[in-house]
Structure 1
Amino acid sequence: MWKIMMTMLIFSQPLHSNALEVEEDLHIQLQRGEISQYGMNYLDSLFIDQKKLEYLMNDLNKKIYKQPVNAKYADNGAIIPEKPGITLDRSEFESLFKQLYYSNKDNDIKIPVAPVHAKVDSGLLQEISVRELGSYATFYRETNKERSYNIALAAEAINNTVVFPGGTFSFNDTVGQRTPERGYKKAPVIVRGELSEDIGGGICQVSSTLFNAVDLKGIQIIERYAHSRRVPYVPSGRDATVSWWGPDFVFKNLYNEPILIRAKAVNGRMIVAIYTSETAEYFTGKSK
């Protein structure tokens, strides 16, 4: 079939204004016999089977794709700049492939790549960090090491999350499945009104703290469930229970600007603050 050849070179020109550097000059080696397999069956060889070519490009993109990384705040308050990703430039690759297909020569194709820009760059992050919309803090016992660790892990997962205008935030989608492989530990949880132990115990304090921070004008609560018994870290009726295979906490941003979630759990204090830009306005029309 085909294989990727990699040599340690650098593109002579940056791919965009952020000077994306790609340290691998990628080539795909296609022999003449392999190239001919992309012709249409039972038809003149002048016709390329587009479905086969699409399959080749899809498979190739899986091997070279690099996801962009959003800008974020470090623990010391400094901004860590965004990192662009790369993807296959499909139109350019298709053009190069066709040139090789019709040339009747054995040759390599230099894989053309295109930048994948991060959704949140340093400029946007600074802009939406100016105005605090709301905040909330809860407290926990540090002596319960496993529960404290779970709280800190989930807080880190939602920290630096940006929700764009009209976009929704899902706690389960953002935090992900709570498993030992991802670092979560067994700690007390409430199951059908009874105390038990399970992986990820304690993260409902994170979702409940978040709920109280975002329960304000301009944020639409879409999905929230209360525990089957009262929890000690928030007032009655102000909790938001979550479970990977069950309840989720979901809200929608109704502002005309993105909102930023800052979350931290340290020294027995779980705090969430919500920020946006100075120019943010609440949508006065009917929400969908």
Structure 2
Amino acid sequence: MAVRKFSNMSKITKIFLVLVTLVLISLGGGYIYIKNEVSKYNNLIYPSVYIENINLSSKSKTEAKNIMNKKFSNPIEKKNINIIDDGESYSLLYSKLKPKYDIDKAIDEAFDYGKNLKILDKYNIINKKETKKYKLSLSYDKKYLREFLNYVEKKINRNYENAKINVSNGNINITDDKKGKKLDKDKLNKMLESKIKSKSFSDINIKAPVNESEAKITKNKLSVINKNVSNYTTNYGSISSSERMNNIKIATDSINGTLLMPNDIFSFNKIVGPRTLKKGYKKAPVIVGTKAQPGLGGGICQVSSTLYNCILEANLKPVEREHHSIPSHYVELGRDATVNYGSIDLKFKNTLKYPIYIEGKTSNGNVNFNIYSNKSLNNISYKISSKVYDTITPKEKYIYDSSIPKGKIEITNNSSMGYKVKTYRNIIKNGKIIKKELVSDDFYRPVDKLIKKGV
């Protein structure tokens, strides 16, 4: 009985050993198969591995590089981005950017995928074929991009242009205003960076992001100027030297074409500027104190006085004005306005609800100013009048001087009458004075006659 039991156990062991051997043989064969399958990809990229949208399964590094260069590196050199603004196009050439995709880096990453894993894990990657994707990054010359943006900005940016008005022989012409434009460079930069990095190889058109600014003075605002509402003329031809005539013309031309919007303030000295030889001014008599003596720009007080009378008849309000120390011969008492650069100015404010245009001209010995504004202002007219309410007779004063012969007389200063005068503005509607307002109350001090007498 014991021998039979041992015999049965021997058979079971043999069967077990056979089974184990068969399993080992099977496993060994499976391992060899797996090893062979994995080894096929030792120098190849695993299945379902992509760079961007390119499937590089079973490709060597060299093959992958050729494919990627053909797809990405070569076409990008021919690509353009066009910036469009108002029908103008500014082209950014990719070739100038020196673009470069990191193809070698991406291929190395794709090739190395799974290569450091254990053999069974490698086999699973190969067998399951799960998609693995890698991205290309692009490098380019950002300095050139900045230079391109600066170029586009310079081309697009412009300041707004106000509408302009010109009057010739009573004909009024108004030019269009233009909006200002400013490129949003930061926004465009972000747009360009996004487009540059895109993997599209067709040309791209981008509308330039631009901010517009309205002109301060539009054609619509100036279109209300349609009528001459005031004019005034004085004559200088009969009493002026050629130098004085020259000065009057230069100053008048400086003022001609001045536009004042509502609430703007006119400054004679600011508009005319310094009276210099460089500007063409010449020496002519100017009143200093109570005497006339040569000075650059002599005569332009006639310009300021003529303009002063013109603005009074347009119902404009003087802000700053001084009369001469002695009466002027070219306008009535109380209606003159002296100026001296740096110290005495003629200023007035446009208190009308419409803009005004000042036309100044000289011709045939006359200086003339016209003010143009809206024709509705002519429904009321303004008449300026002056009234002398006191006259002061100058005195004679003697200065005794031993440096001249005894009994000899020299007049060193001629006398001038003194006046107190009020100037009014009469407001007339339908031919009747409806109001009278005081404009100024001036005192021209008497100038005593000075006589030197020898003792």
Give the alignment's TM-score, normalised by structure 2: 0.43
Match in the other structure for 2:256: 159
Q: Percent identity?
A: 33
Match in the other structure for 1:141: 237
Q: Deviation string for 1:72-106 (max 9, x for gaps)?
A: 113x444454365675515x23422455688899x
Unmatched 5+ stretches in structure 2: 1-84, 98-140, 198-207, 381-455
Q: Report the Cα distance in structure 2 between the residues aligned to 1:169 and 1:25, rounded to whole angstroms.
A: 44
Letter in 2 for 1:156: D
Work out which of the residue numbers 373, 390, 397 in structure 2 matches 1:276: 373
Letter in 1 for 2:243: E
Q: Report the Cα distance in structure 1 between the residues aligned to 2:341 and 2:89, rounded to whole angstroms.
A: 42
Q: What's the Cα RMSD here?
A: 4.2
Q: Is the 8 A contact 2:231 2:370 kept in 1?
A: yes
Q: Report the Cα distance in structure 2 between the residues aligned to 1:157 and 1:215, rounded to whole angstroms.
A: 20
Q: Report the Cα distance in structure 2 between the residues aligned to 1:216 and 1:276, rounded to whole angstroms.
A: 13
Q: Report the Cα distance in structure 2 between the residues aligned to 1:98 and 1:117, rounded to whole angstroms.
A: 29
Q: Is the 8 A contact 1:32 1:104 kept in 2?
A: no
Greater CA radius of gyration, 1 or 2? 2
Match in the other structure for 2:187: 95
Work out which of the residue numbers 340, 365, 372 in structure 2 matches 1:243: 340
Q: Is the 8 A contact 1:35 1:101 kept in 2?
A: no
Deviation at 1:176, TM superposition (A): 2.3
Q: Report the Cα distance in structure 2 between the residues aligned to 1:129 and 1:168, rounded to whole angstroms.
A: 21
Question: Tell me, what secondary structure is at the counterpart of 1:271?
Answer: strand
Q: Report the Cα distance in structure 2 between the residues aligned to 1:190 and 1:165, rounded to whole angstroms.
A: 34
Work out which of the residue numbers 278, 290, 300 in structure 2 matches 1:203: 300
Which structure is richer in relative contact order (CA contacts within 8 A, separation 6 or more)?
1
Match in the other structure for 1:184: 281
Q: Is the 8 A contact 1:209 1:271 kept in 2?
A: yes
Q: Deviation string for 1:38-59 (max 9, x for gaps)?
A: xxxxxxxxxxxxxxxxxx9xxx
Q: Report the Cα distance in structure 2 between the residues aligned to 1:207 and 1:219, rounded to whole angstroms.
A: 15
Deviation at 1:252, TM superposition (A): 1.3
Q: Deviation string for 1:204-250 (max 9, x for gaps)?
A: 11110111111247421110011222221111221111122111111
Q: Report the Cα distance in structure 2 between the residues aligned to 1:26 and 1:172, rounded to whole angstroms.
A: 46
Deviation at 1:114, TM superposition (A): 5.0
Q: Report the Cα distance in structure 2 between the residues aligned to 1:211 and 1:195, rounded to whole angstroms.
A: 22
| Count of residues in Structure 1 that have an aligned counterpart in Structure 2 | 238
Question: Tell me, what secondary structure is at the counterpart of 2:376?
Answer: coil
Deviation at 1:160, TM superposition (A): 2.7
Q: Report the Cα distance in structure 2 between the residues aligned to 1:248 and 1:111, rounded to whole angstroms.
A: 47
Letter in 2 for 1:93: K
Letter in 2 for 1:119: I
Match in the other structure for 1:117: 215
Change (3 A) 1:191 1:164: same
Match in the other structure for 1:39: none
Q: Is the 8 A contact 2:174 2:222 kept in 1?
A: no
Q: Report the Cα distance in structure 1 between the residues aligned to 2:89 and 2:275, rounded to whole angstroms.
A: 38
Work out which of the residue numbers 287, 309, 316 in structure 2 matches 1:219: 316
Q: Deviation string for 1:142-197 (max 9, x for gaps)?
A: 66222112212221222232222222211122222222222322222112222122
Question: Tell me, what secondary structure is at the counterpart of 1:180?
Answer: coil
Letter in 2 for 1:139: N
Q: Report the Cα distance in structure 2 between the residues aligned to 1:131 and 1:78, rounded to whole angstroms.
A: 10
Change (3 A) 1:279 1:73: same
Q: Deviation string for 1:1-33 (max 9, x for gaps)?
A: xxxxxxxxx952xxxxxxxxxxx9999x99735
Letter in 2 for 1:117: A
Match in the other structure for 2:142: 32
Letter in 2 for 1:231: S
Q: Report the Cα distance in structure 1 between the residues aligned to 2:242 and 2:280, rounded to whole angstroms.
A: 13
Give 1 or 2: higher helix fraction: 2
Work out which of the residue numbers 353, 367, 371 in structure 2 matches 1:256: 353
Give the alignment's TM-score, normalised by structure 1: 0.64
Question: Tell me, what secondary structure is at the counterpart of 1:198?
Answer: strand
Work out which of the residue numbers 167, 173, 197 in structure 2 matches 1:73: 167
Determine whether 1:82 maps to 2:175. Answer: yes
Letter in 1 for 2:188: L
Q: Report the Cα distance in structure 2 between the residues aligned to 1:278 and 1:152, rounded to whole angstroms.
A: 29
Give 1 or 2: higher strand fraction: 2
Q: Report the Cα distance in structure 1 between the residues aligned to 2:374 and 2:188, rounded to whole angstroms.
A: 45
Runs in 1 of length 4+ with deviation above 3 angstroms? 24-27, 29-36, 63-69, 76-81, 83-88, 97-105, 110-118, 123-127, 279-282
Q: Report the Cα distance in structure 1 between the residues aligned to 2:335 and 2:246, rounded to whole angstroms.
A: 23
